[in-house]
Amino acid sequence: MSDAQRDLAARSETPRRIFPPGFVLGAATAAYQIEGAHDADGRGASIWDVFSHTPGRTMGGDTGDVAADHYNRLNDDLDLMQSLGLQAYRFSVSWPRIQADGSGPANLLGIDFYSRLIDGLRERDITPIATLYHWDLPQALEDAGGWPERDTSYRFAEYASIMGNALGDRVAMWTTLNEPWCSAFMGYASGEHAPGRTDDLAALTASHHLNLAHGLALSALRDSVSDPSAQYSVTLNFHGLEPVDSTSPEAIARIDALTHRTFLDPMLNGRLSDRLVSDTQGITDWSFVEPGDLALINQPIDVLGLNYYSSDEVRMRDHAGDDNPTAWPGSRNVEFVPTRRSRTAMGWGIVPEGLETLLVSLSTEFPDLPLMVTENGAAFDDVEERGAVHDEDRVAYLSQHFDAALRAIDRGVDLRGYLVWSLIDNFEWALGYAKRFGIIRVDYETLERTVKDSGTWLADVISSQPRSRPLVEHN
Ligand code: GCO
């Protein structure tokens, strides 16, 4: 440990971290990662069902068929959330539970599950934050072309309208998409995620249709939700980007454009990023962006959700790298330099100050837009000993990042909440069950849950807040 890390570790023991009034502290999950029950009650197949069942796609051939079996253990999991004192819970809705094939009337059994979840949260004074899309596109829509196909955006708006009508009296905050960068670039360019395609043009086209889906869904939600105090948001993933040498500014500009500007500029500024267009000119002229699209995408949001895990050091190399599929179309000549910092089990450098920098820079760029950390957390190789998990490394990680958020708040950032990824261990996409992010352990043999020390730590932080109040006051 360096002195700085020792200092940070010591501060993780500081008992009082006080957030501003109205701030919400909680945890997040996603449908495919925890629910299981993949063919129950009329649920259709998603791209992740098909992908995970394709040999060689996920570590150990793991699938979400059972996952943490949350679908069948809803009440127990709600009780666990209550026992931690969570103030908010961010979950996602599985689109193929609602529309098995991605279009047509709602499956009432699917709606019923989320209705029970939301009621269960509200009965326990936990604010429900619902994400409509956390990567589980109905396979039938992928068969019809997937996100590179414009019609998928319209199907998404139809689904958003179903959800707004069904549950729009009870959800405090609606989030359209989670991390569209991953959907577009890991799904269609690098192929590491479902549907596993490797086509740069398809990925860039998908990014636009995800933006369009976001804008159309916001309008559909505003037309269908009956609770006038409901808030609307989107969650994007942010990479902290750090320089290593004189070529780094160019590398940072490229990755910033591809990762962040692809979504921020259309959604919040109503335009395409010039930098993105020029960096990808060898692949497309962006003529799939039709007149009027940017205005449809640029709808107001109440909160910008950000997921932050790590920062990367980048620089340019003088050749284009190899020909392997990449998640950075047009920018193969950017090199991600292996970090010298301590890392999580994902190999991601631990850079809490990157969160502070990110929050300050977003709030400088969008001064009127409240922010929320919708995911932050870490995988470590937890060990269970006699019914306990002493995950000090996760406690240290979370404390350091909470402190970074508090410093950003001190610097004037309007941060409204902090949701830890994740409530429970779950299916970590292509890595299957090999990586554990939960503050609650899941024994995948017995599906038994054990609150880890990090869960107790979060509960202590929450209970030491002077007073909690819901994100949105309901009538
Ligand atoms: C995300 C991911 C989560 C991951 C987490 C850790 O939104 O990034 O959706 O589903 O599990 O980020 O990789």
pLDDT digits (tens, 9 = 90+) for 219-247: 999 999 999 999 999 999 999 999 999 99
Q: What is the mean pLDDT of residues 8-36?
A: 85
29 lines ligand 1 (CB under 6 A): no
Is 411 part of any domain? yes
Confidence of residue 468 (pLDDT cuts 50, 70, 90): low
Residue numbers of the domain that contains 399: 24-463
The structural domain count of the chain equals 1
Is 189 part of any domain? yes
428 lines ligand 1 (CB under 6 A): yes
Catalytic residue among 35, 142, 179, 242: 179
Residue 385 known to be catalytic: no
* 336 Cα–ligand 1 center, Å: 20
Is 34 part of any domain? yes
Residue 179 known to be catalytic: yes
Share of the chain above pLDDT 90, in %: 93
Q: What is the mean pLDDT of residues 321-347?
A: 93
Q: Ligand 1 test: best mutation among 33, 178, 420, 421, most atoms within 8 Å of CB?
A: 421
Is 3 part of any domain? no
The per-residue pLDDT for 474 is 46
Query: φ and ψ at 11, to 5 degrees?
Result: -70, -20
Is 29 part of any domain? yes
- Which residue has its alpha carbon closest to ligand 1 atom 4? 428
Is 146 part of any domain? yes
The per-residue pLDDT for 212 is 99
421 lines ligand 1 (CB under 6 A): yes
Residue 173: exposure state from Cβ atoms within 10 A (0-12, 13-18, ≥19):
buried
* 409 Cα–ligand 1 center, Å: 24
* 184 Cα–ligand 1 center, Å: 14
User: Taking 80 as the threshold, does the pLDDT of residue 475 lie above it?
Assistant: no
User: Taking 90 as the threshold, does the pLDDT of residue 362 lie above it?
Assistant: yes
237 lines ligand 1 (CB under 6 A): yes
* 76 Cα–ligand 1 center, Å: 23
Q: Using one digit for the tens of pLDDT, what is the confidence trace for 63-113?
A: 999 999 999 999 999 999 999 999 999 999 999 999 999 999 999 999 999
Q: What are the C-alpha distances in Å from 415 to residues 267, 268, 292, 395, 405? A: 19, 18, 32, 21, 8
Is 19 part of any domain? no
The per-residue pLDDT for 470 is 54
Confidence of residue 318 (pLDDT cuts 50, 70, 90): confident
Is 345 part of any domain? yes
The per-residue pLDDT for 322 is 78
* 414 Cα–ligand 1 center, Å: 24
User: Taking 70 as the threshold, does the pLDDT of residue 5 lie above it?
Assistant: no
CATH of the domain at 58: 3.20.20.80
